[in-house]
Each structure stands twice: as structure tokens, then as C-alpha cells.
């Protein structure tokens, strides 16, 4: 399977926001990512707009030539934003408003009506919907039942455990991924993926359609340049180990 790389540009927006003005220009940056081989652009507008701002979304929507993936908690403001500027994909994340970064997936049964209703609205607008979940096999059936098209497996714990025991770090992911694929869901992955842990993950899971990577890819770009960083991450997506 070809795994697509969606570059998360939140960190670049964070640098822009640290001073008045529009430097770096995140739209230009997103287009450059595409020119350098990114197959999608991910943004995660948070309620305090400390990274990407709501006002960036219509501009990105208009400018991008690949795919826009907008992640976030489906608050009324978020829903208005994505329904007004429909991206190709929305990834629903159960983040509290003040969280530093996403650190867990949905407990789908606990929010079953809310998620089914939210996903219904997004799909009626022609948007593909992904649900951010922990690598918990028990979440796959509920993900189908609420109408998700895809799941995104939270890889934060995998990234922590990788250094100690990568075989067991990937265990639940393998199971959840297999079940999801059997149910016809697309499987994505994201959080804390980097040049060290990405190749093994892709090689073991085999069926990952998309990864969204921001933090490490942006940091690596400081050392090797954006074009090289994107190329190095894409090389990991076809790694044979």
C-alpha cells in the first residue's frame, strides 16, 4: 500500500504568530510542502488559535492542490468553520479546549450519539471523516457504527515505547489496524512519528493509508531543509527495513 504523507503545518503557524505580520506565510509554506512532495496538508485549529487561525482555513482551502485535512474537536465554531470551507477530510479529535497537544483518542461508545450526528453532518457536506482513536481493537466496531470513513491511530504511546521494545509497542496497533481494514475503514496514524520510529511502524502495519506529521518533520527541516525533510519522511513510507 502507498502511504500518503500529510504535513501538519501548525508549528509554522506558531512561529508566524510569535510576531506581528505574516512571516512565514503559512499558505506559501503549505504550497512549498506540496511542491516538495507532500500529498496533503493538515491543520489543527485550536480554540485559542495559537497555531493555525480560523482565518487561515478559507485561504488554504482555496490555494491547496492536494488535500486539506482539518483536525479538531467538533465544537460549534469548528463545525461552522469546516462546513463553510469544506476540506477533503476532517479528523475528529476529543481534545479539551486548553490541551497542549492531543494525547488520547475517542471513547466512541461514550459519545456515540454526538459522534454519529457530527459525522452525519460532515458527510452530508461531502467531507471524508476520520476518528482519532487509541489503538484499541474495541473501538473499531463503534467507529463503523457511527459512520466514520477512516480511523487515525494515536501513535504517541508507540513513539514512547519504541525505544524499549518496538515489537510490543506496535502490538495493539497491528490488531486494531487489521480489524479496521476488514471492516472497510481506511487507517491513518499520527502523533510523535519521526525518522527513527516511522519506518518500522509502516513496515509492520502494512495498511496505513496516511500519516500526518508535524513536529518532528518541522524540526528536521531546520537542519536539513524542508525539501530534504519531506523527501526523507516519504522514503520511510516505502521502507523495506
Please report which residue ranges of 74-111 form alpha helices under DSSP H. 76-84
- Told to check if 132 binds ligand PXP by CB under 6 A, we report yes
- CB hemisphere CA count around 73 (13 angstroms): 17
Angle between helices 226-237 and 198-205 (to 10 degrees): 30
**44 contacts ligand PXP (rule: CB under 6 A):** yes
* Annotated active-site residue in 34, 51, 67, 71: 71
The stretch among 113-121, 135-143, 166-174, 188-196 that binds ligand PXP (CB under 6 A) is 188-196
Closest residue to ligand PXP, Cβ-based?
A: 190
Binding to ligand PXP, residues 133-172 (CB under 6 A): 152
Q: Kindly tell me which residue out of 3, 4, 7, 8 binds ligand PXP, with binding defined by CB under 6 A.
A: 8
User: Which pairing describes strands 208-213 and 4-8: parallel, antiparallel, or unpaired?
Assistant: parallel
| Among the residue ranges 22-30, 33-41, 191-199, 229-237, the one whose residues contact ligand PXP (CB under 6 A) | 191-199
Extract long-range pairs of 222-226: CB within 8 Å, 24+ residues apart: 226/29, 226/32, 226/33, 226/36
The answer to whether residue 111 is catalytic is no
Q: Collect all residues with Cβ–Cβ distance below 8 Å to 229 and sequence separation of at least 6.
A: 217, 218, 220, 221
Is position 6 an interface residue for ligand PXP (rule: CB under 6 A)?
Answer: no
Q: How many residues bind ligand PXP (CB under 6 A)?
A: 19
- Using rule CB under 6 A, residue 4 touches ligand PXP: no
Of these residues, 34, 44, 67, 188, which one is catalytic? 44
CB of 11 to ligand PXP, least distance (A): 7
Among 51, 173, 188, 191, the active-site one is 191
Indicate if 44 belongs to the active site: yes
Enumerate long-range contacts of 11-14, CB under 8 Å, 24 or more apart: 11/51, 11/214, 11/215, 11/218, 12/218, 13/43, 13/51, 13/52, 13/53, 13/56, 14/50, 14/51
Provide, rounded to whole angstroms, the least separation between the CB of residue 93 and ligand PXP: 5
Of the candidates 108, 110, 111, 52, which has an alpha carbon nearest to the alpha carbon of residue 82?
52
Catalytic-residue membership of 71: yes
Which parts of this chain interact with ligand PXP (CB under 6 A)?
8, 10, 44, 71, 91, 93, 101-102, 132, 152, 190-193, 212-216
Show which residues are catalytic.
44, 71, 191
Amino acid at each position: 500500500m502507498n502511504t500518503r504523507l500529510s504535513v501538519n503545518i501548525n508549528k509554522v503557524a506558531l512561529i508566524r504568530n510569535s510576531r506581528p505580520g505574516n512571516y512565514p506565510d503559512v499558505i506559501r509554506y503549505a504550497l512549498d510542502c506540496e511542491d516538495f512532495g507532500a500529498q496533503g496538508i493538515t491543520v489543527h485549529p485550536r480554540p485559542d488559535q495559537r497555531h493555525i487561525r480560523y482565518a487561515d482555513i478559507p485561504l488554504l482551502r482555496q490555494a491547496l492542490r492536494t488535500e486539506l485535512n482539518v483536525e479538531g474537536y467538533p465544537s460549534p465554531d469548528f463545525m461552522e468553520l469546516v462546513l463553510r470551507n469544506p476540506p477533503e477530510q476532517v479528523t475528529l479529535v476529543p481534545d479539551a479546549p486548553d490541551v497542549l497537544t492531543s494525547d488520547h483518542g475517542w471513547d466512541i461508545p461514550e459519545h456515540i450519539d454526538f459522534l454519529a450526528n457530527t459525522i452525519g453532518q460532515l458527510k452530508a457536506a461531502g467531507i471524508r471523516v476520520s476518528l482519532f482513536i487509541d489503538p484499541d481493537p474495541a473501538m473499531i466496531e463503534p467507529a463503523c457504527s457511527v459512520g466514520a470513513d477512516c480511523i487515525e491511530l494515536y501513535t504517541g504511546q508507540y513513539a514512547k515505547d519504541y525505544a524499549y521494545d518496538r515489537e510490543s509497542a506496535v502490538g495493539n496497533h497491528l490488531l486494531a489496524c487489521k480489524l479496521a481494514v476488514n471492516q472497510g475503514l481506511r487507517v491513518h496514524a499520527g502523533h510523535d512519528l519521526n525518522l527513527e520510529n516511522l519506518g518500522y511502524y509502516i513496515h509492520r502495519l502494512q495498511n496505513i493509508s496516511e500519516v500526518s506529521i508535524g513536529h518532528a518533520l518541522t524540526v528536521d527541516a531546520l537542519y536539513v531543509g524542508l525539501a530534504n525533510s519531506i523527501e526523507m519522511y516519504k522514503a520511510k513510507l516505502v521502507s523495506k527495513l
